[in-house]
Amino acid sequence: MDDRHAGFGWYELLTTDMAAAQAFYGNLLGWNARDTGTSRFNYRVFAVGKEPVCGLMDLPVEGRKLGAAPRWVGYVAVDDLGGAMHRLRELGGAVYVPPTDTNIGRIAIVADSQRATLALAQGLRYRPQPPEPNEPGRVGWHELLAANSKTAFTFYRDLFGWQGAESQAGVIESYQPLSAGGRVIGGIFDKLPIVPIPFWLYYFNVPDISTATELVKACGGRVIQGPIELPNVGWVAWCVDPQGAMFALQAVANKGGVERLNAAELGWSAEWGGFASRGRLVAKTAPPSKSGN
């Protein structure tokens, strides 16, 4: 199976407090929320204006009992879910939730060959138009922190037909930009050993990084690294929401005069203060090294 049209088409936040999460992201990203749930299933859709962008749901009790923490999940839209599942298993991936009919389409929760989790969906009910560059409130970048970036790239290339894109100057050698359907959508790089497992990180566009990071803190979240200026990218910051889900912000503008660090000084460090993957805030630690390891 090689679905050349496959790309991220939907996102969901699984959380332990839907009302608090709705207020947090509404204040931070300007989203409005619409209740689309039923008597048996609580679900809300976040939108930018009238454009649906992602979903919000309770983290299932069964998952909590198994240690699952709040997190963002990205859905890759495919034409043939059965074929994609078969190919995923052939490539060494795992299936956590088998194909299931839901309120957003027929979905499956899976992991790649290095156990980074994501979701697959066929017949998505919500399929937002690809965002314009830097469009506020939309996911502007998808980043995989992999155990081995080269083999991870091969997995996604063989499963979805994703291609490599040209690397920009100033980024580390292991950073591999990704292209889906002719659009550059994100990148893959090697995580540091301190990060327990590979995972996908989603970057939301904001107009100004300084204003956004101050809002994160004012609304009860944490900024665990940044704001940092990256060459040919703009400003980025890594954050954790009040319930413990990790996300990132990116912006062209920074009116706050935050310290500038180049990519060599940053070293794309994955050792964020107080954070250990899986969307879980575990302890306060020293600031990340800027030595470029």
Which CATH number fits the domain that encloses residue 110? 3.10.180.10
Which of 121, 111, 70 minimizes the C-alpha distance to 88?
A: 111
pLDDT at 31 over 90: yes
Q: At what angle do helices 18-29 and 209-218 cross, to 10 degrees?
A: 150
Task: Specify the 3-state DSSP secondary structure of 214.
Answer: helix
Question: Would you say residue 56 lies in a domain?
Answer: yes
pLDDT digits (tens, 9 = 90+) for 198-250: 999 999 999 999 999 999 999 999 999 889 887 777 899 999 999 999 999 99
CB atoms within 10 A of CB 86: 12
Q: What is the pLDDT of residue 241?
A: 97
Please state the domain count of the chain.
1
Record the pTM: 0.86
Range of the domain at 88: 7-122
Q: Does residue 187 fall inside a structural domain? A: no
Q: How many CA atoms lie within 13 A of 283 on its CB side?
A: 2
Lowest mean pLDDT among 41-50, 140-149, 231-240, 280-289: 280-289
Pairwise CA distance, residues 12 & 109, whole Å: 12
| pLDDT for 282 | 31
Does 25 map to a domain? yes
